[in-house]
Amino acid sequence: MTIRKGLSYLAAVTALLAVLAHFHSSVGIAPYSIVLTTTVLFWIAQATSWNLLSGYAGYFSFGQGAYVGVGAYSMAVLTGRHDVGFLWSIPIGGLLGGVLALAVGAVAFRLGSLRGEIFALLTLAVPFLLATFARINMDIDGGQGTVIALPAYPQWVGDAQHMLFYLSLAVAALAVAVALAVHGSRYGHGLAAVHDAEDAAEVLGVPTFRYKMVAIVLGGVLGGMGGAVFAMQIGFVAVESVFGLTIPLFVIVISVLGGRRHWLGPVIGAVLVVVLQDRLSAGGLESLENIVMGALLVGLVIVAPDGLYGRLRARPWLALGAFAVVLIGMSLTGYWAELDALLYAMFAAAIVATLADRFLAQPTPKSPDATFSPTRVAADRSGRTPQPAARAAGAADAGATEVAQLPLLHAAEALPGLAEAAPQAGEARAAEAVVGLGEAAPQAGEARAAEAVVGLGEAAARGRALVSCVGVTRDFGGVRALDGVSLQVFPAEIVGLVGPNGSGKTTLVNLLCGALQPTRGTVAIGGRPIGGLAPHRVAHTGVARTYQIPRPFESMTVRDNVAMAVMFGRTGASLSQARSKAQQHLATVHLGHLADVRPGSLNLHQRQLLEMARAIAAEPVVLLLDEALAGLNPAEIDDAVAVIRRIHATGISIVVVEHLLRVLNQLSTRIVVLDRGAVIADGDPAQVLSDPAVVRAYLGRQRA
């Protein structure tokens, strides 16, 4: 559903509700329904606004009461003491809620290492703090509580309850509209990426800090406006009623029940929870309210942590059927009030939808080759089998080794100015050799031209450095991870970065992509210093990276994982453009046939390939591969090496962090060896690997 279509549905539903309320007596709606619906609308607004940060972006907050309280007290103080009209007090309440959210976010999200749990605990303290503030501040109410007089309203509104209803409806519709628009937009996808893998999102170019700030402020504004209307509804604002934990409890139960990753989730949850609450009080069981809600939360996290929306979506007719049967059945018997019947019918639908999968077991479709079998991995590549990287692993006899013709690489097209390049069919390495050379025409079987050129060591042959580290030092506390490292990467290179564990390889990668700042020294990308730039800005200068342990966005399909990188990459693109581009990048790594599955059903090798596809989708000039071959079997390594060559052939320079020397020896045009944070060798692979210092530090007797 597009955003525009969604918004028009929302407008229609809002208008319908308003009309029904206005003519309630003519259509036979009991006045009590309007009271109840007003409550539902309040919770829809609260849960929806909470959901922007806590659901979409996954930063759980226990602090919703703070925004409600700020809004409610704005209404109380402004109308009660300063004669501000109530219609003005609502947006002011929203504004103050937004300011509070801004302050909380500015503190919380500035903490780089802040984990979700700490954020949750921090937000737990905010309402408590505001409560003390209200208690001690005589300009507010000194903890006495404030009665809110009913304001004057125009005649056409009807009674006071109608006025509250319309105001609540307006705020709730606004909140849902915002959530809906965010959900379908580029921004919403960015928030989902933050939820799934924040670090990976940032290095792909998602401005995570700004996105989180926007989400928390939107939540604060909507929460504050809702709180202002809520104050009129309850008529008496006291510290306990707004700053307690009941509001966060309800908001969390509603969202967890309905589902946190979709804008409809909180709406569904609010209806169910409010009717349940109403029935409890109707049955004289108010004192059990929090107990039921608490127990519901515990049960939900265990049974259906993803909420009802997804389940209802999967089995809409079954749920609707159960709903209708129970509702009609109970109404016909006549023993039950309408609301009781409604409650039971909703529960029936929810239970049927939740449990359907258990009893009507239907195996979820799996990716066709979600196993480690090398034969199948190799055979599945759209009928083609990649040629193993010559003697790379020197050791592959699995299905992957059957030699097939590799399609001509489109290196020449990808690189303007390389028109003469004529790589031979079946010669995967030729393309690599061509890049940056212009006139090289390597012969079949001999493919080390690029290496030969780089081996000249002349800067002129290399062109301007894409990456340039000068004297980079990085300390962690008292421990020096990198010590005066200088390193350059030139166009068309594949630089192998090796070194013993703890020698600073990963630290260097983190510095190059901006995830860490150097203690001393400078890093420049394409001649531009990146000191002080956030990682997403560094990404836009043309650096992309993969992670040793793949960090895909688990909630998105493989295609959307890659589309994210296109959308937030240097060029930017709309979602639909990005999706079609993503398909091309997936084809480059031979994952095209798995575009519609979720990353969860990929094997390690495929996840690594996905990492690479996502990285190249950002259209980088330099790609940092952090141990992209770790844990792969020989056939998969061959396959991955072929992919790396293909990526290289499109004109991207590559830095490979890797332990497998045989692979590096074949793949890289230059090898840099780190030991205890310092560069101890840098140059031609064969030369470096026979350097006595390198042998001593790293290779040991195996190669000596």
Q: What is the Cα–Cα distance from 353 to 315, expressed in whole angstroms?
A: 6
CB 327, min distance to other proteins, A: 29
What is residue 660's DSSP assignment?
-
Smaller CB distance to other proteins: residue 16 or 395?
395
What is residue 47's DSSP assignment?
H
Identity (one letter) of the amino acid at 613?
A: A
Q: What is the Cα–Cα distance from 249 to 65, expressed in whole angstroms?
A: 9
CB 203, min distance to other proteins, A: 21
Smaller CB distance to other proteins: residue 491 or 502?
502
CB 294, min distance to other proteins, A: 4
**Strands 622-626, 543-546: pairing kind:** parallel
H runs (alpha helix) in 137-263: 160-184, 186-204, 208-234, 239-243, 246-258
The secondary structure element, H or E, covering residue 134 is helix 116-136
CB 128, min distance to other proteins, A: 5
HSE at residue 373, side-chain half, CA atoms within 13 A, is 9
Q: Tell me the angle at which helices 160-184 and 208-234 cross, rounded to the nearest 10 degrees.
A: 170
CB 477, min distance to other proteins, A: 3
Rounded-to-10 torsion of CA 368, 371, 373, 376: 10
Which of 335, 48, 37, 433 lies closest to 219, judged by CA? 48
| Three-state DSSP class for residue 671 | strand
Which of 153, 123, 130, 2 lies closest to 72, judged by CA? 130
Residue 482 near residue 507 (C-beta atoms within 8 A): yes
Q: Other C-beta atoms within 10 Å of 197: how many?
A: 20
Q: Other C-beta atoms within 10 Å of 151: how many?
A: 14
CB 369, min distance to other proteins, A: 10
Residue 337 near residue 283 (C-beta atoms within 8 A): no
What is residue 546's DSSP assignment?
E
Smaller CB distance to other proteins: residue 108 or 618?
108
Smaller CB distance to other proteins: residue 3 or 245?
245
| Three-state DSSP class for residue 517 | coil
Smaller CB distance to other proteins: residue 326 or 389?
389
CB 498, min distance to other proteins, A: 11
Smaller CB distance to other proteins: residue 228 or 664?
664
* 624, β-bridge pairs: 545, 655
CB 176, min distance to other proteins, A: 24
Angle at 551 between CA 550 and CA 554, to 5 degrees: 120
Smaller CB distance to other proteins: residue 56 or 323?
56
Smaller CB distance to other proteins: residue 258 or 423?
258
Rounded-to-10 torsion of CA 631, 637, 639, 644: 100
Q: Other C-beta atoms within 10 Å of 75: how many?
A: 28
CB 133, min distance to other proteins, A: 8
Smaller CB distance to other proteins: residue 119 or 166?
119
| Three-state DSSP class for residue 674 | strand
Distance of CA 356 to the CA centre of its chain: 29
Smaller CB distance to other proteins: residue 371 or 517?
371
CB 107, min distance to other proteins, A: 6
CB 191, min distance to other proteins, A: 17
Smaller CB distance to other proteins: residue 407 or 700?
700
Q: What is the Cα–Cα distance from 680 to 699, expressed in whole angstroms?
A: 13
Smaller CB distance to other proteins: residue 257 or 433?
257
CB 568, min distance to other proteins, A: 26
